Amino acid sequence: MHATFNRLGATLGANGLLILFVIISLFPVYLMFITSLKSQAELIQNVFALPRNPKWGNYPLVLIERSYYRAVINSLMLAGTVTIITIVLSCLAAYAFAVYDFVGRQLLFVLVLVGLMVSEVSILIPVYMLLKSWNLLNSFVGLVLPQIALGLSFGIFLMTTFFLQVPKDLVDAARLDGCTDLQLLMRVMVPVSIPAIGALAVIEFLWTWNSFFFPLVIATRQDLMPLSVAIIDFMGRFTFNYELVATTCVIMFVPILILYVLTQRSFRRGVTMGAVK
């Protein structure tokens, strides 16, 4: 009897703690959403209260009247392009690390891992000067290249971890059947690593979608700015339009939420398998 009560108490305590964490995690989302539906005066009166007259017009105001739909398209194009190219390059590099035993392999892989410790801010000025010398400032290519470079270290590390899990006998059998490297990669390695590719796609898309510093410095043209940079239009030196900033944040949040809902099973499998390895 005591053991049953102890188990019940432990379960209730654990569930209560998880519910508390969920509430704490969702509270900023709640605050952001209700702020996007308020007027400036109503927001000043009570930050936490529900809006008395929800201003759904803030969304068409931001997207259509302020032409932020262009920034949304720019963000989608940037994040989608970076994600696809990063996945392709990561799979190619990971295949070499997982299948071939070449001279300097371990050292080269360590150098790839060192890239995980490089922060975006620390290389901002050198990358800016490099892109300037290549005449790539204020260009889509100039926005894409730094994001790919930043994401490759993690992508190569993740995909190498999964490719190493492919049984050696399976690779040898494919070789005996006459598979080329490209066929071995596409028909053997990639199909068994779909969860990892899904996890990498979600993570890379999220990183690029939320990227701020490089797009801020590289793209000064309004027609090239992604949503993460265009939002600063509502942040003046003496004024701060909180409700329109919150509206833009909600617009930024929705695609990420949809992407995660659609790929959550693959994302969980990919992250968990990588952690176990």
Q: Residue 218 and residue 128: Cα distance in Å, rounded?
A: 7
Encode pLDDT of 55-74 as tens digits: 888 899 899 888 889 999 99
Within a domain: 17: no
* Residue 270: pLDDT over 80: no
Within a domain: 111: yes
Encode pLDDT of 116-126 as tens digits: 888 888 888 99
Q: The domain that contains 185 carries what CATH number?
A: 1.10.3720.10
Range of the domain at 161: 61-276
Within a domain: 10: no
Within a domain: 236: yes
Residue 104: phi and psi, rounded to 5, are 80, 10
Model pLDDT, residue 275: 45
Model pLDDT, residue 276: 45
Mean pLDDT of 221-247: 83
Within a domain: 46: no
Model pLDDT, residue 192: 84
Q: Residue 271 and residue 91: Cα distance in Å, rounded?
A: 16
* Residue 258: pLDDT over 80: yes
Model pLDDT, residue 126: 92
* Residue 14: pLDDT over 80: no
Domain count, the chain: 1
Model pLDDT, residue 178: 82
The amino acid that residue 197 corresponds to is I
Within a domain: 21: no
Within a domain: 45: no
The amino acid that residue 50 corresponds to is L
Within a domain: 178: yes
Contacts for 41 with CB less than 8 Å, ≥ 6 apart: none
* Residue 273: pLDDT over 80: no
Tokens of 115: 């890239």
Q: Provide the residue count of the chain.
A: 277
* Residue 4: pLDDT over 70: no
Encode pLDDT of 161-215 as tens digits: 888 888 888 888 888 888 888 888 888 888 888 888 888 998 899 999 999 989 9
Encode pLDDT of 48-60 as tens digits: 888 888 888 889 9
Q: What is the pTM of this model?
A: 0.85
